[in-house]
């Protein structure tokens, strides 16, 4: 199985996710997203596949969050995405991508649990 993890090696939660994946016998493709951030389109697609809002994908603990006033509820998804493109540290992590799923793995043990199937409507 091809597994990609968007990872920050300075983050404890992010560091434990690749180890958890490896313990399942899978060698993930690790992308240090601060060095190689995803494109805006890929980030937007990943957020949609995770089934979360753009706001939920923003890391509130990152220093630029408060400085940029990103807690303002009037900000649009486009404005939040732009902030994440300019400051990739704002992308919440780790994000794990498999052929069937994309998941924000906070806490990191979420990597072990399948995402519940969504009903078609």
Region 57-77: what's the mean pLDDT?
95
Catalytic residue among 11, 54, 91, 95: 11
Instruction: Evaluate whether residue 115 is within a structural domain.
Output: no
pLDDT at 42: 96
Q: What is the pTM of this model?
A: 0.84
Domain count, the chain: 1
Can 11 be counted among the known catalytic residues? yes
85 φ/ψ sector (left φ>0, alpha ψ -120 to 50, else beta): alpha
User: 91 by DSSP, 3-state: which?
Assistant: strand
Instruction: Evaluate whether residue 114 is within a structural domain.
Output: no
Range of the domain at 9: 4-108
Task: Kindly tell me if the per-residue pLDDT of 117 is higher than 70.
Answer: no
| Distance separating alpha carbons of residues 20 and 116, to the nearest angstrom | 20
CATH number of the domain enclosing 23: 3.40.30.10
Q: What percent of the chain has pLDDT over 90?
A: 66
Instruction: Evaluate whether residue 18 is within a structural domain.
Output: yes
Instruction: Evaluate whether residue 29 is within a structural domain.
Output: yes
Instruction: Evaluate whether residue 44 is within a structural domain.
Output: yes
Region 53-74: what's the mean pLDDT?
95
Instruction: Evaluate whether residue 26 is within a structural domain.
Output: yes
């Amino acid at each position: 199985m091809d597994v990609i993890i968007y990872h920050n090696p300075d983050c404890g939660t992010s560091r434990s996710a690749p180890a958890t994946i490896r313990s399942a016998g899978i060698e993930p493709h690790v992308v240090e997203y601060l060095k190689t951030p995803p494109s805006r389109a890929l980030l937007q697609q990943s957020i949609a596949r995770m089934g979360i809002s753009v706001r939920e994908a923003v890391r509130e603990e990152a220093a630029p969050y408060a400085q940029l006033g990103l807690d303002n509820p009037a900000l649009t998804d486009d404005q939040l995405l732009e902030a994440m493109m300019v400051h990739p540290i704002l992308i919440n992590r780790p994000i794990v991508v498999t052929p069937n799923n994309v998941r924000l793995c906070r806490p990191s043990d979420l990597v072990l649990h399948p995402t519940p199937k969504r009903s078609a409507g």
